[in-house]
Chains A and B, each alone.
Chain A
Amino acid sequence: ELQLVESGGGLVQPGGSLRVSCIGSGFTFSNYAMSWVRQVPGKGLEWVSGISGPGATTYYADSVKGRFTISRDNSRNTLFLQMNSLRAEDTAVYYCAKDDISAAGFTRPDCWGQGSLVTVSS
């Protein structure tokens, strides 16, 4: 069974840093591109960042470019999102999602994690 499990969310002060992780199981992790999507509670979905299966290609939304870094450790079936210089508007549930191709993109995300809440507040 395909499964993605996020961890690492929590409360952080404005300007602070946090890293969220996502462990995949039930599939060959390195074969598939992965993305992060966020959702402010009660609001819509926003694609944040994506990475190719091998990890060589990454993409970012303008709202997080220069502050967030996506990476992956295929030996540990784990996706990361390092978030620096956090702002109140980054408060959201962060979902990881698996694509069905290796190339970086957001073509057919067929499996999503349960989400990890990140709250940026003093």
Chain B
Amino acid sequence: DIQMTQSPSSLSASVGDRVTITCQASQDIDNCLNWYQQKPGKVPKLLIYDASNLEAGVPPRFSGSGSGTDFTFTINSLQSEDIATYYCQQCYDVPFAFGPGTKVHIK
């Protein structure tokens, strides 16, 4: 099975900061990588699909990059409403594993 790791597990940043989260797959998954945002008490929301494609309606301050085994998720200019846990997930092969999540706090 493909294992997904994320770092950091949590971070604290100020409004306006650039935030970067990394995700690593245990084997090559091409660009089959999604990023989700889950706010407290809410349903997960797809932000990025196929590693770098922004889902419709998602603000352009969110972006993703990478392929193979190493991926990056970036929030340019962090906003207070971005407080959430962010998950990566591989869509390359069954089982479609999620990363453990990165909790983003406001400093």
Contact = CB atoms under 8 A, between A and B. Distances in A.
Chain B, interface size category, equals 20 to 34
Interface string B22-52: 0000000000101010100001111001100
B101 interface: yes
Contact of A115 (B43, B96, B97): B43
Nearest to A115: B43
A102 B44 CA distance: 21
B interface, over-half SS? loop
Contacts of A105: 91, 96
B44 A45 contact: yes
A112 B43 CA distance: 7
Q: Which range holds the interface residue count of chain A?
A: 20 to 34
A107 B49 CA distance: 8
A11 interface: no
Nearest to B87: A45
A61 interface: yes
B44 A47 contact: no
B60 interface: no
A112 B89 CA distance: 15
Contacts of A14: none
